Amino acid sequence: MVIGTWNLENLCRPLPPGGPPSNRCAAQDEASYQAKLEGLAATIDRLAPDLLGVQEVGSHEALTDLVDRLGGDWHIALSTHPDRRGIRTGFLSRRPLTVVEDRTAFPDHLPPVRVEDDGTMIKRMGRGGLAVRWSPVPGHTVGVAVCHLKSKLLTFPGNRHSTDDEQLRARYAAYALYRRAAEAVTMRFVADQLLQGDGRTHAVIVMGDLNDEFKAATTQILYGPPGSQIGTGGFQDTDLGDPRRLWNLAPRILEQGGFSRVFEGQKELIDHVFTGPEKLPTVDGAHPAAPHDSPSDHAPVLAVVDY
């Protein structure tokens, strides 16, 4: 079974002629939208995933437009909680999906986090984290969650994305970090619900755009007990932490020279796939197409699981 995650970069229908925008997510025009759909569909057909977590989907209709261009039968699950731009997370699957949670609220014991100089506090994720039950083969069910954590892109007062005030920049970088950390805690809470205390008997996959690399503190929140990294002592030996671990496949992808995004000329892997301890997939590394060929600014990240 091929599983993976892909940030589709603003998969949004064009605005209707003369109509007011329902949100900030809209394709430039019909021609560019159709070209994007064709590019995405060609890549998905070539990679042939059985389950694909997706981010930056503008609507159910847009995701349906994509599915209509794919070969074979597909099932869709989509979060009902978009961000202010109108983008959300979801799944494409060759097998039926059952939604078990569409979460934005932080866990009860996590306090609100500050996100603005004016004292604005938030208690929920910007984009919903979606969890489903997926049956790759008859008689075997996997809990799978997809997320899109807060970007490192900073938005300053007045909806500005630049500033020459370095103290302001530093504060808003901290606010973005607080938010991304709280969202990572929330997704770890979702993972714990799927694990039900024993990942050896409850198969779990967590995937998505975490907007940071695998050694980042926010990414590591999802791992679980100490030693939950491929290649560490906890990976080599059985211990009491095993039932709660999630393995990030990033080291295997990086070994192959994989990356999922190029930012300011730097290759980075910020899209991740985690699996529970009962299965460690083989990895098909992520390599973006050339910018003029790619339908997204992210590359898909794929792994093969033998169920």
Q: Stretch 271-299: mean pLDDT, rounded?
A: 74
**CB-based contacts of 203, cutoff 8 Å, min separation 6:** 140, 141, 142, 143, 275, 276, 278, 279
User: What DSSP letter does each residue of 62-112 carry, written as one string?
Assistant: HHHHHHTTSSS--EEEE-S---TTS-EEEEEESS-EEEEEEEEEPPTTSPP
| pLDDT value of residue 19 | 59
- The angle subtended at Cα 124 by Cα 184 and Cα 12, nearest 5°, is 85
| pLDDT value of residue 284 | 64
| pLDDT value of residue 104 | 98
pLDDT digits (tens, 9 = 90+) for 130-180: 999 999 988 889 999 999 999 988 999 998 999 999 999 999 999 999 999
| pLDDT value of residue 21 | 59
DSSP state of 168: H
* Least reliable range by pLDDT among 24-33, 83-92, 229-238: 229-238
Find out whether 94 and 51 touch, Cβ atoms under 8 Å. yes
Q: Stretch 89-99: mean pLDDT, rounded?
A: 97
| pLDDT value of residue 227 | 80
Residue for token pair 């059952």: 98
d(CA 68, CA 142): 26
| pLDDT value of residue 29 | 86
More confident call, 103 vs 234:
103
Enter the tokens of residue 90. Answer: 């979801």
Highest mean pLDDT among 17-26, 101-110, 227-236, 258-267: 101-110
Q: Stretch 270-298: mean pLDDT, rounded?
A: 74
